[in-house]
Amino acid sequence: MEEREMSGTGRGATVWLTGLPSAGKTTIARALEKRLREQGRRTEVLDGDEIREFLSAGLGFSRQDRDTNVRRIGFVAELLASHGVIVLVPVIAPYAASREAVRERHAKNGTGYLEVHVATPVEVCSRRDVKGLYAKQAAGELTGLTGVDDPYEAPAEPDLRIAAHEQGVEESAAALHALLTGRGLL
Ligand SMILES: Nc1ncnc2c1ncn2[C@@H]1O[C@H](COP(=O)(O)OS(=O)(=O)O)[C@@H](OP(=O)(O)O)[C@H]1O
Ligand SMILES: Nc1ncnc2c1ncn2[C@@H]1O[C@H](COP(=O)(O)OP(=O)(O)O)[C@@H](O)[C@H]1O
């Protein structure tokens, strides 16, 4: 038996939750994190806001800065995942090319990578408006908000699409958990 199997850690992977602001990415990632920790899996959430405070401090929301941000997060995620951690990444990642670069990096290193689209429509996100960004944009106090006046390239073929406006948080976490099980990661 391999050492990592004996220690009960299993194979690591990155699970990237892409979607609009207030789609539910962080909430669903935290719910899944709880389930995975309860079953003894080493899990980390690379939260977009935390990353922007430390690893990506100083970066803004231009296409170039978002691309840099996503690639940095992808780099760290792959490192952790290659050591058996299930890494949950609730980060917008609006551009398909940046997400593809992250996927390729994982593939090159033989590390698992799953793309999950948290597909809450913009009308629902703007009603939730957790951080008041949609209101600010509407009031003309902010420009370049993803999905409103900045691009969001929805994944064409995600490993899973979650309708987080039609199902509850625990249902979404359970669907993700089932995906990981189905891929032999749990
Ligand atoms: N202009 C603009 N567009 C989109 N999002 C904005 C913007 N300004 C601030 N924010 C807030 O920044 C949070 C982190 O963004 P991310 O690092 O996930 O974005 S990106 O992937 O680099 O595009 C992101 O967090 P979430 O709401 O959790 O998605 C936003 O709340
Ligand atoms: N079915 C649902 N799935 C996920 N989040 C939901 C749902 N219904 C309501 N919410 C709420 O929507 C908000 C989503 O915020 P958050 O998870 O921070 O989004 P994001 O990380 O995508 O910006 C939270 O306040 C959450 O409680």
* 1 Cα–ligand 2 center, Å: 40
> How far apart are the C-alpha atoms of 88 and 151, rounded to whole Å?
23
Residue 58 lies in a domain: yes
Q: Predicted confidence band at 5 (pLDDT cuts at 50, 70, 90)? A: very low
* 23 Cα–ligand 2 center, Å: 6
Q: Which of 16, 91, 136 for a ligand 1 pocket mutation test, highest count of atoms within 8 Å of Cβ? A: 91
Which ipTM did the prediction report?
0.97
Per-residue pLDDT at 49: 87
- Chain centroid, CA 185 distance in Å: 17
Task: Say which amino acid occupies 100.
Answer: E
Residue 104 lies in a domain: yes
DSSP, collapsed to helix, strand or coil, labels residue 177 as helix
Q: Predicted confidence band at 78 (pLDDT cuts at 50, 70, 90)? A: very high
Residue 96 lies in a domain: yes
Q: Which of 73, 92, 116, 146 for a ligand 1 pocket mutation test, highest count of atoms within 8 Å of Cβ? A: 92
pLDDT at 7 over 70: no
CB-ligand 1 contact for 129 (6 Å cutoff)? no
Residue 185 lies in a domain: no
Tell me the ligand closest to 167's alpha carbon: 2
Per-residue pLDDT at 4: 41
Cα angle: 74, vertex 155, 147; to 5 degrees? 95
* 4 Cα–ligand 1 center, Å: 35
pLDDT at 56 over 90: yes
pLDDT at 33 over 80: yes
Residue 182 lies in a domain: no
Residues with beta carbon inside 6 Å of ligand 2? Answer: 19, 21-28, 90, 128, 130, 164, 168-169, 172
Per-residue pLDDT at 9: 56
pLDDT, averaged across the chain = 95
Whether 25 has a binding-site annotation, put simply, is yes
pLDDT at 110 over 80: yes
Residue 91 lies in a domain: yes
Residue pair 77/46 in contact (Cβ under 8 Å)? The answer is yes
Phi first, then psi, for residue 158 (nearest 5°) are: -70, 160
Mean pLDDT of 92-120: 98
CA dihedral sign, ordered 122, 58, 116, 43: negative
Residue 122 lies in a domain: yes
Percentage above 70 pLDDT, the chain: 95
Per-residue pLDDT at 158: 98
Range of the structural domain that residue 32 is part of: 8-177
CATH code where residue 76 lies: 3.40.50.300
Total domains, the chain: 1
Tell me the ligand closest to 46's alpha carbon: 1
Tell me the ligand closest to 49's alpha carbon: 1
Phi first, then psi, for residue 96 (nearest 5°) are: -60, -35
pLDDT at 120 over 70: yes
Residue 3 lies in a domain: no
Beta-bridged to residue 18, according to DSSP, are 117
Residues 6+ positions from 69 with CB-CB distance below 8 Å: 51, 52, 56, 59, 91
Ligand 2, atom 11: closest residue by C-alpha: 24
Q: Predicted confidence band at 99 (pLDDT cuts at 50, 70, 90)? A: very high
